Amino acid sequence: MAGRQGRGAWRAKTVMYRAIVPITLLFVCITMAGLFYGDRVSSTPVGLDKSYVSSDHLHAYISRTFLALKPRADPLKAKADQLFKSAKDQIATVNTYAAFSRKAKLDIMRQLRLFEEQASNYTEFLNRPEHQALLEDAVVDKDVLNKFERELRDYQMNTKELIMHAKEVADAQLKTQKMKDTIFAINDQLTRAKKQGAFSSLVAAKSIPKSLHCLSMRLMQERIAHPELYTNKASDPELEDPNLYHYAIFSDNVIAASVVVNSAIKNAREPEKHVFHVVTDKMNLGAMTVWFAQRPPKGAHIEVKAVENYKFLNSSYVPVLRQLESANLQKFYFENEMENATKDTPNMKFRNPKYLSMLNHLRFYLPEMYPKLNRILFLDDDIVVQKDLTGLWDINMDGNVNGAVETCFGSFHRYDKYLNFSHPLLKEKFDPKACGWAYGMNMFDLDAWRREKSTEEYHYWQNMNENRTLWKLGTLPPGLITFYRTTKPLDKSWHVLGLGYNPSIPMDQIKNAAVIHYNGNMKPWLDLAFNQYREFWTKYVDYDMEFVQMCNFGH
């Protein structure tokens, strides 16, 4: 213990002596400098005030003296430092490009290897003993420095070549990536724009133009003002005569229904043998009744009724009416936010509220609506008749229920485009490549319909599709299923389609057609209709009608 205390005291004294010695030497130097300056001040030239030499001047002089005593740095030393710094900067640059090449996973692995080798060569070059001496030694050997500079210049030239080659690849890679990012961004914008466009187009197509709304209101006003003129008259016996030519038209559009009837009558050879069964909804019944009371088809027979007049059409019998009561289906139809409404863009059209209307499903109940008829021609309200259609009643249906024009060509309009064949039930029962056909002009053999029990078939499949797993919505998919193997293909000249979406239909094909169909969004009564097709429809609009003129329904 005593030995340890002795060693501690000795260390304390050593530290004290090491501090005192430098202080003592500094004091001696300052004293000698003072004596020297004292002699210099005492011998100042005549005329110079001794007080001019102040203590500040004395301290400045001492400082300069001490700086002068320090050894001067070798100028080659600064150059060596600068060259080493340049080399280290090159190493950092090379490593950066090597990291980029590695991260970008460039196919040229040779480039990555060259960068790594170049970085290794730099490190080896700088670590040579003669080169390290340039940093460590106080005096630099000029020959060694010059050789170092020459070799370093060669390394730098090689590095520049590598970098220039890498820049070409790196810039191309960056441009490619930037282009890909731009393409993806534009594609995303395009997708959103398409959805917005489809939604806007749907709204524009399905909204009621002001002139049409005005016409319905004017006609309804007339019905209210003069109810005695439009009371139901006695039933016309021709309405149930199976020997006449019967048409079924289901519509809530007064002007469209009038064009169908007017065009059919004007092109009929014997108008008195034609009977039109117009069915609308309760809201438009008054307007439709007034129109055909004031503008009856010349020589022909017409019946105007509402869906509500057919009492058997209720939710206990009709699957669609029962399904429309479900909350999920109502949400599907009435989801108002565009972002949600456009989730399923390809089937957005089926969100049209017309699919809630029973008018769209009446076509499956024709035998019950007209029990005394053998045949009936179903016409959509967006068609125009251009020829006499009585020839359709002469066609041999070969025991089939439905006479329709087929729409398939190539892989288009096959069953698999309308139905979900991933469902095992459909895969088992139907051919996915079976040819589709069109609604719009369909000749129905009601006797064959009753025999085949087609309405029951329709009910079965509609019930199976309550969750929309077999098809989305609409009437064509259940029609394809219901009349599978019971459809008679008609000549295509009977029914030309696409005037509501295809601007490239040949004019001779349109003019030679018995019926032209404005299926699609560009309906002829809308401003967005194709101008080249509009005249085929407007020529049958009754512009002399008083209420049409009052509502500024343009040509």
In sequence order, the 6+-apart residues with CB closer than 8 A to the CB of 198 are: 342, 345, 348
> Does residue 148 carry a pLDDT above 80?
yes
pLDDT at 47 (0 to 100):
42
Region 335-361: what's the mean pLDDT?
60
How far, in Å, CA of 490 to CA of 302, rounded?
A: 27
- Ranked by mean pLDDT, which of 125-134, 293-302, 380-389 comes out on top? 380-389
pLDDT range class, residue 4, cuts 50, 70, 90? very low
Higher pLDDT, 51 or 250: 250
**Single-letter residue type at 485:** R
Which H or E run includes 421?
Answer: none
pLDDT at 196 (0 to 100):
81
162-174 pLDDT, tens digit per residue, is: 777 776 666 666 6
- Ranked by mean pLDDT, which of 80-89, 227-236, 383-392 comes out on top? 383-392
> Does residue 112 carry a pLDDT above 90?
no
CA dist 104 to 112, 172, 175, 538, Å? 11, 12, 13, 64
The CA-CA-CA angle for residues 56, 57, 63, to 5°, reads 90
Region 355-379: what's the mean pLDDT?
92
pLDDT at 27 (0 to 100):
52
Provide the whole-model pTM: 0.66
Phi, psi of 4 (to 5 degrees): -65, -40
> Does residue 91 carry a pLDDT above 60?
yes
Q: Enter the tokens of residue 136.
A: 């460590």
> Does residue 350 carry a pLDDT above 60?
no
The closest of 120, 199, 109 to 159, measured between CA atoms, is 120
Counting beta carbons within 10 angstroms of the beta carbon of residue 421, is it exposed (0 to 12), middle (13 to 18) or buried (19 or more)? middle
Q: Enter the tokens of residue 333.
A: 């139809």
Region 417-425: what's the mean pLDDT?
94
pLDDT at 52 (0 to 100):
43
Q: Which residue has tokens 């007017």?
A: 262
How far, in Å, CA of 378 to CA of 376, rounded?
A: 6
Region 514-543: what's the mean pLDDT?
94
424-446 pLDDT, tens digit per residue, is: 999 999 999 999 999 999 999 99
How far, in Å, CA of 133 to CA of 138, rounded?
A: 9
Region 25-51: what's the mean pLDDT?
47
- Indicate the range of 54-58, 237-241, 272-276, 508-512 predicted with least confidence: 54-58
Higher pLDDT, 54 or 420: 420
> Does residue 147 carry a pLDDT above 60?
yes
pLDDT at 548 (0 to 100):
93
pLDDT range class, residue 108, cuts 50, 70, 90? low
pLDDT at 40 (0 to 100):
43
pLDDT at 162 (0 to 100):
79
Higher pLDDT, 68 or 274: 274
- Indicate the range of 168-172, 294-298, 360-364 predicted with least confidence: 168-172
pLDDT at 231 (0 to 100):
83
